[in-house]
Amino acid sequence: MAKPIIQVKALGKKYKIGATLRHDTLRDYLAHYIKSYGCSLKNKNNFRNSEKYTGLSSLKAKREFWALKDISFEVMQGEIIGIIGLNGAGKSTLLKVLSQITEPTEGESRIYGRVASLLEVGTGFHPELTGRENIFLNGAIMGMTRAEIKKKFDEIVDFSGVEEFIDTPVKRYSSGMYVRLAFAVAAHLEPEILLVDEVLAVGDAAFQKKCLGKMGNVVKEGRTVLFVSHNMGAVSSLCKRGILLSKGRIKTIGEVNNTIATYMQGTEKLSASENLINHPNRAKGFRPLLTKFSMGINNGIAYYGKPLEVKISYSFDQKIAVPQFVMSFHNDCGVKVFTLFSDYQPNNIPNSLQGIGEVVCKIESLPLLPGSYSVSLRLWQPGQKLDDIENVARFRVEWLERDIGQFNWDSSLGVVYVNAYWQLHNDSTMAPIY
């Protein structure tokens, strides 16, 4: 019987909100020290009146927060598991514990194999070292010999696309260059286990596709992947099993499309409008340039074959050159049904935008069949993604008049209805076919 390559038993991670006694990393400790020193200087003249020194703040600091609680699961070798949930559900904390970046408060995790982690831009890179030096450093950390790293070096550089800057210190890299090289290193240095957080959102669309293809190849080679993402389409296409986290606990674990459906239904919020400034599904590292989303429907219900108007508000503090507004529609399993691009369809949007404004997208005839759907938004300028929000809002589609066929439409037949005309050609001169 095959042995699990990852075993997690009753895992929990507790933080004390505002606590200053324990720090997971040296960076946390130094940041706290500098902050505390600054606060002490600021408050030294009103020491007696400051709540900080009366003991009140220390009492408040005792409030506990469980980022993870009672997490148990097993992963077999060669599996790719999708880990999904809202921001704050504990997905990133789980990967940090499995990567041994932070220690669990309770429970245990056992990993049998060499692990490569891609948790956030720059993880594992030394900013003063060049791209070349960081490749060898990361390989050494993973226990590879110099000869093994050299064998993979050209493939890593080619995949990352940063060959022109490979001898430049990575502190001078853009975020896109950083993540391309980081992913290339993590995926090519032959780890038995690859832990990937939502870092692919930093790269452009072509590189994201390239990364997803590489992860598929990694699994075919018998290696294991834990994949955290808000992109339900990518999770559905790559993974066979999924884990849904909610408030630090496992809500469901099982077949990936069932897990995604549970997630989508659990977050269902039929609403004609959404404030996007603090939306929980905005991808990491993006500022809220898209500020509001609204659909011209009542009670979150749209109708097949009828017009649909969508409004997207924006606030650009700097000039955005050649802005592209992208809106994608997904079904209950997170599969992308269709995508609308502002620059590929008729529009009057100027080549540059700045300030506060609104764009309107008008769909003349909604092709979606009855069911639940979600909308995701992205803002691009050439070669760079500027904002990214998955599952912005959900809505339902219904028939307005039940006159399209006289049978129950099953979802296995598709999600769009296309009008077509069927005609019989009955030409008596046509030769019979035997």
Do 191 and 301 belong to one domain?
no
Looking up residue 83, the CATH number of its domain turns out to be 3.40.50.300
Mean pLDDT of 130-151: 87
In a domain, 143, yes or no: yes
pLDDT of residue 55: 43
In a domain, 8, yes or no: no
In a domain, 136, yes or no: yes
- State which residues form the domain around 38: 18-62
In a domain, 114, yes or no: yes
Mean pLDDT of 132-144: 85
In a domain, 324, yes or no: yes
Residue 419: both structure tokens together: 């009008």
Do 258 and 293 belong to one domain?
no
pLDDT of residue 62: 55
Query: In terms of DSSP bridges, do strands 193-196 and 224-228 run parallel, antiparallel, or are they unpaired?
Result: parallel
Do 159 and 48 belong to one domain?
no
Determine whether 103 is exposed, middle or buried from the number of CB atoms within 10 Å of its CB (0-12, 13-18, 19+). Answer: exposed
Mean pLDDT of the residues in the chain: 81
Do 80 and 201 belong to one domain?
yes
Do 122 and 28 belong to one domain?
no
Looking up residue 320, the CATH number of its domain turns out to be 2.70.50.60
Do 287 and 364 belong to one domain?
yes
> Residues of the chain with pLDDT > 70: what percent?
80
pLDDT of residue 56: 41
Tell me the Cα Rg of the chain. 26
Q: With bands split at pLDDT 50, 70 and 90, how would you rate the model's confidence at 34?
A: low
Mean pLDDT of 144-167: 90
Residue 28 pLDDT greater than 60, yes or no: no
| 193-233 pLDDT tens trace | 988 887 665 556 677 778 878 887 887 888 899 999 877 77
Do 54 and 114 belong to one domain?
no
- Rounded-to-integer distance, Cα 82 and Cα 69, Å: 19
- What does pTM read for this prediction? 0.63
In a domain, 109, yes or no: yes
| 38-61 pLDDT tens trace | 545 445 444 444 444 344 444 444
Residue 19 pLDDT greater than 70, yes or no: no
Single residue among 264, 288, 318 that ends a domain in this structure: 264
Mean pLDDT of 16-26: 56
Do 164 and 33 belong to one domain?
no
In a domain, 31, yes or no: yes
- Rounded-to-integer distance, Cα 210 and Cα 199, Å: 14
Give the residue, 396 or 45, on which the prediction is more confident. 396
Do 398 and 282 belong to one domain?
yes
Do 224 and 137 belong to one domain?
yes
In a domain, 5, yes or no: no
> Residue 400 corresponds to which amino acid?
L
Query: What is the tally of structural domains in the chain?
Result: 3
- Rounded-to-integer distance, Cα 41 and Cα 236, Å: 53
Do 87 and 47 belong to one domain?
no
Identify any residues that bridge with 352 across adjacent strands, giving them in sequence order: 321
Burial code (b: 16+ CB inside 10 Å, e: under 16) for 309-322 equals ebebbbbbeeebee
Do 214 and 295 belong to one domain?
no
- Rounded-to-integer distance, Cα 263 and Cα 232, Å: 10
